[in-house]
Structure 1
Amino acid sequence: MEEEFHLIDLETRRLTSRAGDLLEALPEDIYVAEMQRFVIESNSAVFTDLAELRENLLHNRRLLTSTAERFGVGIAAAGTMPLSMPTDLQVTESPRYRRMLADYQLLAREQLICGTQVHVDVADRDEAVRVAVRLVPWLPLLLALSCSSPFWSDGTDTGYASARTLIWQRWPTTGPAAPVGSAAEYDELITELVASGVITDPGMVYFDVRPSSHLDTLELRICDSCPSVDTIAAIAGLFRALVDREVGRMERGEPPTQMSAPMARAALWQAARSGMEGELIDPESHRPRRATDAIEELTAGLRPQLEAAGDWDTVTDLVTRALHIGSSSSRQRRVLRRRGLLTDVVDLVVAETAGQPSAAPLPSAGSSLLHGYQRLDREELPEAGPPVHDEAVDAGGRPRPAYREILAAVDRIGPVTLRRTQYAVERELGRGGVTFRVSGQDRPHVFPLDLVPRLIEADTWARLGDGLGQRARALNAFLRDIYAGQEIIGDQLIPPELLDRAPGFRSVGRMPSWQPVRNHISGFDLVSTGPGEFMVLEDNLRVPSGIGYALASREMMGGLGADIPMPAGVRPVDGVPAMILETLVAAAPPAAGDEPRIAMLSSGSADSAWFEHTMIAERAGISLLDTDDLVARDGVLYALRRGREERIDVLYVRMEEDMLLSSHDAEGNRLRSGITRALGRGNLALVNALGNGVADDKAVYAFVPEMIRYYLGEEPIIPQVPTWLCAERDQRDFVVANLDQLVVKPIDGYGGAGITIGPAATEAELEERRRELESNPERFIAQEVLRLSTHPTFDGSGLFPHHMDLRAFVHLRADGEAIDSHLVPAALTRVAPAGSLIVNSSRGGGGKDTWVLGGDPA
């Protein structure tokens, strides 16, 4: 076997051109240079025993790893690495490689890839040529096992499990196998290719399976370099068995498995696209087939050859392990989602190459996917206090009664099928545009959906409806008051300087005074701290998003989701778009009449919630506009549709108000004056109202319980997190003194940005935050570190506890003088990456389908 390894600078996590230094310190009969100076190739000895080959591979990796560490270099066995740029390119100084760079330019510069080659002994080169053609239909299955290159050198997720395959196949002399029948014909073909000037020597013939140029072997070249030695050893055993089987069939005069050249290319492309997590093209039927099923059937079909070689037990064990842990590509993507850091991907590959386990160990027969569940990462939690509440699993590791059937179904499905189903679900979400942007990355990612749903009991949901409706009405009263008489300040319930410091307090918030409801659609972020116990963490009254993710999650679970039983009485969510439309109609101004004209305004496809905008507009039956579609004239707002002007009575605004008011309409006029004039004359309602950002302020949040008492004369039904205002000197001093035990947030922050979680922060991070609190204390608040509840979340190989929150949505509608609240039956459960308390998708989190009980079982 020949394995190619990337050389990684352990400080920067980027490729480093240190091959020359390492090769001087390594045995030259094992390690050799490649075209790029940040790649080293390792050559195994020759073995008849597969177990001995595996040990040799491990020995060679250990020697390479320990030698490289002396130079500050890590070893990465993967098809591509995500933190390598073309500027890193340094070609090995030899005439052959310099000529290849000069002749092939882009192809050589993009050769930032590594592969693995397997040589199997054959009788002679004639046999090698004939067997190579017969192996073509089976090559995609071996590629699928090895896939380890989901990212390109700039960190972009390519959408493929093996991007290396796409890059490799650009060379002019690639393809499944040479279409010839003898060694003489093969040599003649190579001579013609060299004579054509397209290639310079026979070594540049890069068929996926080919006769060796200097040995009587058949060489497999299709596979990515793979961090798991077990997976590579499984491929070696399967390849040898395939060669043995085809030699035997050929000697008996049996025809080969037929696959046309176009179909063979399509099958390789499909394997590169999906890896082990999707479907492959069946070698015999040429129809889509689950990759895991195809690989298991291949292994079983090779049993006679594997037993004859003494490999049956070893290969079946290695294949089982490979299917259990999944492809390296899927593991790399999962680790990226945890914190959104590409350095974590590099660290994972380096660690696995060095021999650290790829995933959780194989469960014993009959064991549950909860077998490792008690290993909860509590690094971000203070030591004191009650244990973390898990909503589905009790302290003894047993499913709670409401979750018994759900978790039993998850066990029956098993990790391999769950991983495949999750892959299929995420592909459908990608096709539907259900994406988000991880902080620091330009391209959107598919919203990760975990397949283990969350249950909320009917009585808990009813209490949330009462408490959140109460909170929404109190905040609405606060917004109306604060932009009018400011009686709450006059009565000294909140300090006047609170508004001076609030970035969301705007003069435009005074428009319109006639509007009884300002926060028509509110989003509340809640966390559970115990059975049926919730606390409000944040209020979102500007442009609350997330309902589209909730609807998409339910559709995926009902469509491509795993076969998990849904209890009777789960509230349906398909009526949510109609509910939104009812709320928009109720918001119409007096001049609108009985049939108000409604539209949604979006900032366009670049918005992270664009799919949600299009989904709601389509299902609610309202127009979706951008600012170029608007024109304001004589105190009325119009939409330009197909050359006609259509009056707008209610505009559902799904963009930030600063962007809205600074934009121009279709005639080049600033929208600010046109919109405020229409609002003032009672010709337009905005959902939600301008200036609502003051109620999102995290310092204002601290006074919401007082608002409920002041405006409603009621005690708060749902508690909120104790909060310190750092603008107050005594409170700031307390926060600074206890910084390592508190969460500190910017008052205008969102998406988890700028948060310091004391118990998880480094001394340098705490010191930097301490300086900020001393110089600009008014910008921050502090809160207790909550013990957010956890929930079983599928991490690729088993179920593990992840923290989560809940975003619930409340609609307000005016009914005469009264204001009614309506809790939307679709809620978004956001799941934090492993070991984190930050659930926001922009920080690498995901979601779960939320099953709210209490609906009509019929």
Structure 2
Amino acid sequence: MNAPIRTRNRTIRVEEEFQLIDTATRCMAARARDIAGTRPTTGFTPEMQECVVQSASAAHASVENLTQDLLDRRAALNESAAELGLAIAAAGTVPMASKSTVEVFHNESFRKLSADYGLLAREQLVCGTQIHVEVADRDEALAVAAGISRYLPLLLALSASSPFNSEGQDTGYASSRYLAWARWPTTGSHPPARTSAEYDALVSGLVEARVISGPSMIYYDLRPSQQRNGLELRIADACPSVDTTITIAALFRALVEREAQLDDPTPPLNPAIQRAATWRAARFGMEGDLLDPETSAPRSAREVLLDLVELLRPQLTATGDFERVDALARRAVMAGSSAFRQRRALRRRGRPDDVMDLLVAETASSTDSTQLFSTDEDVFKAYVPIEGVEMDHFTDEAFDAAGLPRDLYKQTVEAATRLGPVGLRTQQVNAERDLTVRGVTFRVTGESHARAFSMDMMPRIIDHSTWRHLSTGAEQRAKAINAFLNDVYGEQAILRDGRLPLDILDKSPGYRRAGQTALRGSVRNHVSGVDLIYSERNGWQILEDNVRMPSGLTFALEARAMSQRNYPELFDTAPAGLNDTSGCYSMFYDTLLAAAPPGAGEDPHIVIASPGQHDPSFFEQVQISEATGIPIVTPDQLVVEDHVAYEVSSGSRRRVDVAYLRQDEEMFLTSRGADGEPLRYPIQSAISAGHLTIANALGNGIGDDKAIYAFVPQMIEYYLGEKPLINHVPTYLCSIREQRDMVIERLDELVVKPIDGYGGSGITIGPEATDEELALRREELQVRPEQFIAQEVVSLSTLPTFEGVSMQPRHVDLRLFTHLRAGSGPGELTAVTAPAGLTRVAPAGSLVVNSSRGGGGKDTWIVVEDATNPSAASTTP
């Protein structure tokens, strides 16, 4: 039975550790001595690493006073840091460090620690939060520690803020700090001692054994405070949110009070269960299941936290903290852990400095950082147009201008609303784990390692009539470009008839002599991709062509698989007649099979010519290989003899009839084959002899040329005698002086692209560019105008994208994949568009959707058959 609740409040004291950040580079800065010297009387002290400084609060009985104390000390520390060009970040780890920051602080005790513990001491680039709660004496501290220990994993999950290591790599853990800290020899949940005498004997024994140098090196998650009567909590990461720290402190104090008043102390968990529960908390934070402190069964972090608040209601009420802590706990549940927010920040643009900016901003916030996010259960309540976009230019495909869901999206919006932010976030974390397990990765430009391709759960829905229009238009375009490629590498009639200026061809870097090796009249763009955008003002428009080596089909299929496995409540709302993506790989295989040269025989051998596993899209190559049985070969596994190509691997040798090229053609042709000789002329001889087909054909890069893009509508009329079915984005050729001068004059209003750019590289979006970026582009246009084109800033439609707490509008485009095969008669072509589209999602604040620039994807629901479902209204707003 519980004893009566005390009326006095135990005091709480908090020590916070902060990383020092250089505001210019956003890297950690080894300047703790400079900071400590600026305000020597305010309690700022250096830690073991020179890039870390500690701030210690006074002891407070009032949670309100403690909150203000922490805010004041952070403000003072930030002020001191700002004078030195620094800022502070409260996080268990930060993703940007340099070698200079790994220096141990230059005083004798810290140098001795480094000498005694070596790498263990030097690698402790971690920051924690220590909370001291007043107790009568050390005996009381040790008496209550064992009973409190079972609740420690929850407090760790609440604080989790260290998902990245110092090199910016995602560790897969919400608190990697705890894993690093647990390597010290004196760690665990609580000391194996119930009295101060036992504790002193334990410490003395460890000192005599020369395992530690003194009591300060007892690093248990709970330990008696060193300087006064208190019980110290050491398990928590440093928390960017002051309110998170306050929530943990208030819960910890209430746990101490509750345990002190129990007639029968709460028994500790089995050590193996305790360790497992702590590991699980470090792994998943608030975004996964924890082990229930009472039953040890998996339960959602939300339930475990709210149950603990309710369990401690008497103690929290007695101190006047219940309503405050209950509200803060619910807000923490809604906002998720800092680790989750950091991962979301990185995924938006793929830039670690975005994570640093987030941590610095949250640490400096005078209010709870989670207030930066909506905490309403309705994930669509704050759904508004993107800031800076005028309403008459704004087109959201899921919601109308009145903020109401369009008919085709109503059921899906309702299902997402029922799941709420916590349910969606839980499913999102599971989905991201699923993508990681399956290896669905892409390497963002500038990153040394691949990361999981970001997939959002809210689908894009395209109705039957829109699909028919888009697929037919894409097939028309693919046929016209194929005719152009055959012509431009053959008779060049389009030049002779003046429908394409000769200088455009001469200046195109994609125009290669190797393109002349393909057989005349053959299919050249076997699988082509076309990127489409939509806006209410302009309808559907084609933005770019991809006839060199379009990627993304696998990501479209993985998005569907992810929806079915991880978001069943949403997927169940799909309209009737939904596209079946299961045959897309078979279609791919059949297209390559149809590309085999006449002498290939009844069983043509097809290979995927790849640069290897370091290629950014290697995952896609592997998936295609596994689904179709087509082997992946690298250039050093190919050899050509007597104008016939062979695959040579593991002692075997087999003729190659079709090579699906998934690398830059120049890199491929200049690579050395299995015989050590460059592949260029042997491969070209095999193509010319009609013994080998390269898909897509060599020289196809001219079809991706942004200047050539401007003439595709004329190509459709010239080669097919048809009007373009899908609109075109007006394009200015900077190689023409008058157009270049106009572009320079309107540079801050236009999008300028390199004619040979891929993956969104080299693009300048005038309204988003800095003065320095515009000045550099202006100079390039004056010196090398032929290398650029310009377009008006087009209005990309938006779709809801889950940002961890609420849905936000993000710009999207659509990539479709069209297959061309030779028909039965001379010059006849069969065109079919794969029943799968990749909806690409731009990061927050960007119009660039490319995966290599940090963009993500969505499942695309295509109604490929006339649906009887009355909700299958037009997807076009």
Per the normalisation by structure 2, the TM-score is 0.93
Q: Which amino acid aligns with 1:277?
A: E
**CA distance in 2: counterparts of 1:715 and 1:796, whole angstroms:** 45
Specify the alignment match of 2:324 in structure 1.
Answer: 314
**CA distance in 2: counterparts of 1:545 and 1:306, whole angstroms:** 57
Specify the alignment match of 1:568 in structure 2.
Answer: 576
Specify the alignment match of 1:105 in structure 2.
Answer: 118
Tell me how large the CA RMSD over aligned residues is: 2.1
SS in 2 for 1:826: strand
Give how far 1:370 is off.
Answer: 2.3
Give how far 1:146 is off.
Answer: 0.7
**CA distance in 2: counterparts of 1:23 and 1:562, whole angstroms:** 54
Query: Structure 1 residues 739, 361: closer, same or farther in 2, change over 3 A?
Result: closer
Deviations 1:621-662 (A, max 9, x none): 322322333332222222235533222222222222122212
Specify the alignment match of 1:59 in structure 2.
Answer: 72
**CA distance in 1: counterparts of 2:28 and 2:230, whole angstroms:** 33
- Contact 2:335–2:375 (8 Å) recurs in 1: no
Specify the alignment match of 2:875 in structure 1.
Answer: none
1:279 aligns to 2:289 (yes or no):
yes
1:145 aligns to 2:142 (yes or no):
no
Identify the range of structure 1 (693-702 vs 435-444) with the bigger mean alpha-carbon deviation.
Answer: 435-444
- Contact 1:360–1:798 (8 Å) recurs in 2: no
Q: Which amino acid aligns with 1:351?
A: A
Query: Structure 1 residues 856, 578: closer, same or farther in 2, change over 3 A?
Result: farther
Query: Structure 1 residues 854, 375: closer, same or farther in 2, change over 3 A?
Result: closer
Give how far 1:29 is off.
Answer: 5.4
Query: Structure 1 residues 363, 73: closer, same or farther in 2, change over 3 A?
Result: closer
- Contact 1:508–1:690 (8 Å) recurs in 2: yes
Q: How does 1:158-237 map to 2 (within 5 A)?
A: 158-237=171-250
1:837 aligns to 2:850 (yes or no):
no
**CA distance in 2: counterparts of 1:55 and 1:235, whole angstroms:** 16
Query: Structure 1 residues 855, 297: closer, same or farther in 2, change over 3 A?
Result: farther
- Contact 2:467–2:862 (8 Å) recurs in 1: yes
- Contact 2:160–2:174 (8 Å) recurs in 1: yes
User: Which of these residues, 407, 420, 441, is aligned with residue 401 of structure 1?
Assistant: 407
Q: Which amino acid aligns with 1:618?
A: E
Give how far 1:476 is off.
Answer: 0.2
- Contact 1:472–1:812 (8 Å) recurs in 2: yes
Give how far 1:406 is off.
Answer: 1.0
- Contact 1:370–1:397 (8 Å) recurs in 2: no
1:449 aligns to 2:469 (yes or no):
no
**CA distance in 2: counterparts of 1:788 and 1:470, whole angstroms:** 23
Query: Structure 1 residues 788, 857: closer, same or farther in 2, change over 3 A?
Result: closer
What stretches of structure 1 move > 6 A for 4+ residues in a row?
A: none
- Contact 2:146–2:266 (8 Å) recurs in 1: no
Specify the alignment match of 2:4 in structure 1.
Answer: none
Specify the alignment match of 1:411 in structure 2.
Answer: 417
User: Which of these residues, 345, 357, 360, is aligned with residue 347 of structure 1?
Assistant: 357
Percent identity of paired positions between Structure 1 and Structure 2:
50
Specify the alignment match of 1:258 in structure 2.
Answer: 269
Query: Structure 1 residues 35, 464: closer, same or farther in 2, change over 3 A?
Result: same
Specify the alignment match of 1:850 in structure 2.
Answer: 860
Deviations 1:222-273 (A, max 9, x none): 1110111111111112222222333344xx225515222x333333222222
Specify the alignment match of 1:683 in structure 2.
Answer: 691
Q: Which amino acid aligns with 1:498?
A: I
1:268 aligns to 2:274 (yes or no):
no
User: Which of these residues, 422, 425, 442, is aligned with residue 428 of structure 2?
Assistant: 422
- Contact 1:86–1:110 (8 Å) recurs in 2: no
User: Which of these residues, 39, 44, 63, is aligned with residue 50 of structure 1?
Assistant: 63
Deviations 1:193-213 (A, max 9, x none): 111222222111111111112
- Contact 1:421–1:562 (8 Å) recurs in 2: no
Query: Structure 1 residues 336, 766: closer, same or farther in 2, change over 3 A?
Result: same
**CA distance in 1: counterparts of 2:196 and 2:666, whole angstroms:** 72
- Contact 2:393–2:537 (8 Å) recurs in 1: no
Give how far 1:677 is off.
Answer: 2.4
Specify the alignment match of 1:242 in structure 2.
Answer: 255
Q: How does 1:361-380 map to 2 (within 5 A)?
A: 368-374=378-384, 376-378=386-388
Q: Which amino acid aligns with 1:530?
A: E
Specify the alignment match of 2:311 in structure 1.
Answer: 301
Specify the alignment match of 2:397 in structure 1.
Answer: 391
Query: Structure 1 residues 711, 63: closer, same or farther in 2, change over 3 A?
Result: same
Deviations 1:650-704 (A, max 9, x none): 2222222122212222232332233222222222222111111110011111110
Specify the alignment match of 1:827 in structure 2.
Answer: 837
Specify the alignment match of 1:468 in structure 2.
Answer: 474
Query: Structure 1 residues 756, 419: closer, same or farther in 2, change over 3 A?
Result: same
**CA distance in 2: counterparts of 1:628 and 1:188, whole angstroms:** 67
Query: Structure 1 residues 147, 586: closer, same or farther in 2, change over 3 A?
Result: same
Structure 1 unmatched runs, 5+: none
**CA distance in 1: counterparts of 2:228 and 2:642, whole angstroms:** 86
Give how far 1:856 is off.
Answer: 7.2
- Contact 1:451–1:848 (8 Å) recurs in 2: yes
Specify the alignment match of 2:742 in structure 1.
Answer: 734
SS in 1 for 2:418: helix
- Contact 1:742–1:757 (8 Å) recurs in 2: yes
Q: Which amino acid aligns with 2:447?
A: Q
Identify the range of structure 1 (303-312 vs 416-425) with the bigger mean alpha-carbon deviation.
Answer: 303-312
Give how far 1:529 is off.
Answer: 1.4
User: Which of these residues, 458, 465, 471, is aligned with residue 459 of structure 1?
Assistant: 465
Per the normalisation by structure 1, the TM-score is 0.95
Give how far 1:180 is off.
Answer: 2.6
Give how far 1:613 is off.
Answer: 1.2
**CA distance in 2: counterparts of 1:134 and 1:653, whole angstroms:** 64
- Contact 2:15–2:129 (8 Å) recurs in 1: yes
**CA distance in 2: counterparts of 1:191 and 1:214, whole angstroms:** 18
- Contact 2:309–2:326 (8 Å) recurs in 1: yes
**CA distance in 2: counterparts of 1:508 and 1:282, whole angstroms:** 66
SS in 2 for 1:210: strand
Q: How does 1:543-582 map to 2 (within 5 A)?
A: 543-561=549-567, 563-564=569-570, 565-582=573-590
**CA distance in 1: counterparts of 2:769 and 2:801, whole angstroms:** 25
SS in 2 for 1:75: strand
1:125 aligns to 2:141 (yes or no):
no
Give how far 1:178 is off.
Answer: 1.9
**CA distance in 1: counterparts of 2:704 and 2:635, whole angstroms:** 25
**CA distance in 2: counterparts of 1:458 and 1:543, whole angstroms:** 28
Give how far 1:214 is off.
Answer: 2.6
Specify the alignment match of 1:774 in structure 2.
Answer: 782
Give how far 1:581 is off.
Answer: 1.2
Structure 2 unmatched runs, 5+: 1-13, 869-877
SS in 2 for 1:207: coil
Query: Structure 1 residues 472, 29: closer, same or farther in 2, change over 3 A?
Result: closer
- Contact 2:241–2:370 (8 Å) recurs in 1: no
- Contact 1:460–1:532 (8 Å) recurs in 2: no
Number of paired residues? 850
Q: Which amino acid aligns with 1:33?
A: P
**CA distance in 2: counterparts of 1:100 and 1:846, whole angstroms:** 45
- Contact 1:116–1:225 (8 Å) recurs in 2: yes
- Contact 1:432–1:611 (8 Å) recurs in 2: no
Deviations 1:576-635 (A, max 9, x none): 111111111211111123332222222222112222111111112322322333332222
Specify the alignment match of 1:522 in structure 2.
Answer: 528
Deviations 1:535-578 (A, max 9, x none): 11111111111011111111111001252122222111111111
Q: Which amino acid aligns with 2:441?
A: T
Query: Structure 1 residues 592, 857: closer, same or farther in 2, change over 3 A?
Result: farther
- Contact 1:146–1:231 (8 Å) recurs in 2: yes
Query: Structure 1 residues 848, 358: closer, same or farther in 2, change over 3 A?
Result: farther
Give how far 1:508 is off.
Answer: 1.2
